[in-house]
Structure formats: C-alpha cells, structure tokens
Amino acid sequence: MEFVSSLAKSVFEKVNGELVEVSEIPGLKLYSCQQEIDLMPIVIQPSICFVLHCFVLQAKKRVSTGQQSFVYSEDSYLINSVTRPVEASLLDVSQERPYVGFSLAIDQQMVGQLMMEMSPWQKETSSQPQRDFTQATKMTKEIENVVTRLLGLLNNPMDREILAPSIFRELYYQVLKGPGGGLLRNCVSNHAGANRVAPVIHYIEQNFERNLAIEEIASVAGMSASTLHEHFKQVTTVSPMQYVKSLRLHKARSMLSSGYQVAEVCYEVGYSSPSQFSREFKRYFGFTPSEARSLATTIE
C-alpha cells in the first residue's frame, strides 16, 4: 500500500537517522533507524504508533509483552493504553530499507470528551469488557487520511498551532470507532476486564520509584490484596509486585542506555541499595548496569 511515502521520506530526513526525535507538535515523536534491533527492553507509554511506507519493502516493528507479541507495519498500527515494560524489535531494517515511524501520546482528556459525545451512538460498544492493554489493528483509509494531514503539519508552524488539536481529535475519533477503540477507553474508564486493572497500572506508573506495598496498590483498585493479585496476573501475566520491579528495571535500562550514571539511576528508580540494584538488574537482563551503559542506543 502506498502510504504517505513522500511524507515518510521527509520524516526520515528530519530525524536524520537518529532513533527518536520529539517533534514541534506536543505528544508527537518521530522515529527512524537503519539497522535491526532485537528485543530491546523499553517502557512504552499510552500511545498510538505507526510505521510509515517509505520504500518498496518496508520495515516492521514488534512489541512483546510477556506471552503476547504484536507486529505492525505500514498497513496496521499499534494502540497501547497503559504504561508498561515491553521488549521492542525492529525487523527487516537496513540502510536501503530503514524504519520510519511516529507515535502520538494519548490525550486522556480529549478521548474522554469524545467518549461522552459518542455515547448515544456507542452505548453497547463502550460497555464491552476489554481484556487487553495493547493491540495491533488494521489500518483504515480514514485513519490513513488523518495521519497524512497530521504529518503535513510538521513544516508549517501556523498550521501546527491551529490545526493539530482538531486533527488529533479526528484521529482519536476514528480509532474509537474501530476494533481498537476499547483500548482508548481503557485510558479513561474503569469497566470490567482489563479496565479494572488499568487504574492500578496508572498508579504504579506514577509511584513506582516509591516503596510500594501490595496493600497500598490494592486500595487503589478497591480490592483485597489476593483479589487484585488474581485479576492483575490474569491480565498482565505477572503479579503487581513483579510488575513494579519490571517497570523499575526497564526504566533503569532506558536511562543507562541514555548515558545516566549507575548510582543516579539506582536511586531514581526506587532502589536504596546499589548492590541490590546491580544484582536484580543482572538477574533480569543477564548483564550489569555498567555494561548496559555501553550498549547500543535504545528505542524509546
């Protein structure tokens, strides 16, 4: 599918071969890479992610979350509704066939407003349980059109300032109408299934560097510790406390790969003992925090 190929090439030139660049549009990140990356730990934020068509053979991106993997390319997009540690890979990438893409942070207030406006027409859909937090979804012509207009704003400051909010709103609207709409509703709602756990994950995201106790986390969900453990593990495949540790270590790996000092990272992600941090980091990733600082650039 010919998907905004000229815009994709301009994005690649703008990012200049670097892995990520925060654009002039708030919440929009641009990505490009000319080499494959295998299973790099990252912390993914609530966002909608796209791979752009740039060349005849196009790169793919894979996001793995425990027992699940999601692959998306030019004819699909990824929706992620909560902050979570994942393993990301870039596939079929080379200098002749680079990876080019972008992500848009989810504006919970804007999505919530749209949900209220759409509720008279989507009462049945909006009440359906949503069991997943991440999903790869097929691209539609409507979303392709919105994305084309969104990227077209990059080179015009006045257009960015005036038109970006309305185009974001239109993109959220098209996603909410589609099969991945439930994941956007996860960001602002508290329904059955995964939605019951979503507020807990948001709380952990905001407080993971503190000494969290299971009782405190359970109180956020309005459940007993044992009930939360059961629901949380059913959705995420790990316990709440395992999730806290995983989020800390993935955040630490990202910071180390960006050049932060080991001691600084240790305390920043919530460890009080550098030796404990080093032991748990090596047990989780297979190498020490110091070795992580010298590895290749991370995806973020």
CA–CA distances in Å: residue 20 to residues 8, 58, 71 = 14, 18, 19
Q: Measured between alpha carbons, how far is 72 from 50 in angstroms, rounded to an integer?
A: 8
Number of helices and strands in the chain (H, E): 13, 10
pLDDT tens per residue, range 239-286: 899 889 988 998 898 888 778 899 999 999 999 999 999 999 999 888
What would the two tokens of residue 156 be? 């015009």
pLDDT of the residue at 145 = 92
Whether 40 has a pLDDT exceeding 90, the answer reads no
The predicted structure's pLDDT at residue 171: 96
- In one letter, which amino acid is 116? M
Higher pLDDT, 164 or 294: 164
Task: Kindly indicate the confidence band of residue 42, based on its pLDDT and cuts at 50, 70 and 90.
Answer: confident
Find where tokens 């998907």 sit.
3
Instruction: Give how far Cα 221 sits from Cα of 22, 229, 231, Å.
Output: 34, 11, 10
pLDDT in tens, 75-116: 899 998 877 778 888 888 877 777 888 899 999 889 888 988
The one-character DSSP state at 298 is: P
Given a contact cutoff of 8 angstroms between Cβ atoms, the answer to whether 134 and 81 are in contact is yes
* Angle between helix 214-221 and helix 240-257 axes, rounded to 10 deg: 110
SS3 at position 120: coil
Give the torsion sign (CA, 257, 262, 264, 266). positive
Token pair 């969104």 is found at 150
Compute the average pLDDT of residues 29-38: 79
189 CB neighbour count, 10 Å cutoff: 17
Whether 27 has a pLDDT exceeding 80, the answer reads: yes
> Whole-angstrom Cα distance, residue 101 to residue 19?
10
Consecutive H or E run containing 20: strand 20-22
Q: Which helix (H) or strand (E) holds 175?
A: helix 157-177
Rounded CA-CA distance 221/200 in Å is: 6
Domains in the chain, CATH or no CATH each:
5-186 (2.60.120.810), 194-293 (1.10.10.60)
